[in-house]
Chain A
């Protein structure tokens, strides 16, 4: 009997184009978009070269050190600035037309003119700050020890990086990972569509098809379990395909705990399918409402997890921490992220524990509803 129901269920679900679309094609497409959109995130190119102008006045011509510093910052591939040398009026005009972010006048004291505060403006300012401070230091040194001017100027150029990043692994930009993790979580919970089909097709008070199965000489919960197995199998494979696609095609590095990532994804897939089963068993009304409920929960959950907007996650964590623990999508995302991020696995297990409790509750709730074999009304 298992093979009979299971095989036919596989056929049924695999031919259900719309569910297949939402559970696998859609996440694949979205992942591709993510990859395209975030291909730059975390890489060197994040900072685009900033257009600035320098006012060509007497002091500028005389201050060779500043010119040198500017030259250095505006040549080469990893340069900070594109510099236009202009008259005061022209520089102002360029600024008005938004062609530059700001201009520098050397004058008696170096000054930065900008239109507003912003990231680029801050970078310009930091650059000049740095210059001024280094010059101050150099002149202090030379005041006490005027003889080795050449050496001081020489050593100005070589700057050491005194900071070393230490964390678990450090292969890919991590911000991007979080987007992909929440996408995986969302896809897992789209498995709810499979769960929805399973309960719809077994509850006699919801569909005639189910009534037909209820009158057959098959134990109802067993029939449900058999076909649920088919749903779980298909969805787990879909999720593994998604993982594989992300890893091998989109070249996303999930860290060194690959086994755990796979395991977590499969558990997430089970959680998603069962959540859908519970929602569909609880919401007795139309199919449209069930779909809306599953979509809303997974979309809203993903939104709160930061799938569209990264910081949302932290806003939630800081202001409504409870929400992070009852949002199953967040639990799954965090579980995946902690695999990558934490050295030990206690945070991972905490998340998985919550997720498992959630899944068990969903299973139990579904069982309570499905266990009924006779209905008050059909």
Chain B
């Protein structure tokens, strides 16, 4: 186990930020922490890193208890904070070298590592630039380079793509996958389910400081009853139709808002076919019709009763 968190509790006065949170991260995986803003992702990370005091629980990293003085553990961790944390007075190269130097003493080795990191985030043209002159996306990349230059075994990325343009975002996500391929274990927090789905091998969904589900995305989706979501664009759906629809097999819920008919069905075969047949039989005029598989948002929705993003 790279990380083992057991019964972690963190209170801010009355507010319970982490409520008996337990999870573990295995070597070589990309572990996603998915949850809405304020769900406790960053708090959990900060507790793991021993930056925050917590009220209860145990945290082990590399099978050893984590403390502020556990330098041998810290040496093998790389962190990319949610907010960009670099020195404005140091150039791109100097920033990376500075942070790398806190982990790696050997100068020659460090020079190699820094060059690699710069290449990795594709900032070669900006080596001598100061952070103030970098755009948001470039700054994020610098932020990442500072966290990973020392080639840690465990990399923790806390929402590294907030406010980043799509191009940079893809580059960042690809980079994370590559780091993983090269052997790093990764913890990735985000409130973008698409990102998590795209890169994470295992995902934990948290809400209000509680882990509500953990597993691969397939496992997560298998947990819920929803199998398929069918949307029909139509202007002549009557109450009668809705009633009849609800009686079809496998149908979980039917909603008609505006001109969109939304039919959620549980897992099963021929769901779409049944709906199509019904429409044909009732002679309902429709524009478009499409079917979607459940997303992590649907998982979240079904478990918590609310949307992941508001």
Contact = CB atoms under 8 A, between A and B. Distances in A.
A373 B50 contact: yes
B103 A375 contact: no
Interface in B1-53: 12, 46, 49-53
A16 B89 contact: yes
Chain B contact residues, majority secondary structure: loop
B68 A208 contact: no
Interface string A1-44: 10011001001110110000000000000000000000000000
B102 A374 contact: no
B89 A15 contact: yes
B94 A374 contact: no
A180 B225 CA distance: 81
Contacts of B50: 215, 373-374
Contacts of B148: none
A151 B72 CA distance: 101
A208 B85 contact: yes
B256 interface: no
Nearest to B78: A215
B139 interface: no
Contacts of A209: 85-87
Among B68, B69, B83, B99, chain A packs the most CB atoms within 10 A around the CB of B68
Contacts of A235: none
B102 to A, nearest CB: 4
A212 interface: yes
Contact of A212 (B53, B71, B90, B99): B99
B81 interface: yes
A8 B79 CA distance: 20
A378 B52 contact: yes
Nearest to B11: A376
Interface residues of B, number: 34
Given A8-B94, A220-B68, A215 B79 contact: yes
Given A8-B90, A212-B81, A212-B146, A217 B98 contact: no
Contacts of B101: 4-5, 8
B74 A373 contact: no
A207 interface: yes
A207 B85 CA distance: 8
Interface string A356-378: 00000000000000000111111
Contacts of A8: 87, 90, 94, 97-98, 101
B77 interface: yes
A201 to B, nearest CB: 8
A332 interface: no
A213 interface: yes
A209 B83 CA distance: 9
Contacts of B79: 212, 215
A218 interface: yes
Nearest to A207: B85
A126 to B, nearest CB: 62
B269 interface: no
B128 to A, nearest CB: 13
Contacts of A374: 50-53, 68
B51 A213 contact: no
Contacts of A212: 79, 81, 85, 99, 146-147
Given A216-B99, A216-B102, 7 more contacts: A5-B102, A208-B84, A215-B74, A215-B77, A217-B102, A218-B71, A376-B52
Interface of A: 1, 4-5, 8, 11-13, 15-16, 204, 207-209, 211-220, 223, 373-378
3 smallest beta-carbon distances between A and B, as pairs: A373-B68, A217-B71, A15-B89
21 contacts: A8-B87, A8-B101, A11-B90, A11-B94, A15-B90, A209-B86, A212-B81, A215-B51, A216-B99, A217-B71, A217-B74, A218-B71, A218-B102, A219-B71, A223-B102, A373-B50, A373-B68, A374-B50, A374-B68, A377-B12, A378-B51
Interface of B: 12, 46, 49-53, 68-69, 71-72, 74-75, 77, 79, 81-87, 89-90, 94, 97-99, 101-103, 105, 146-147
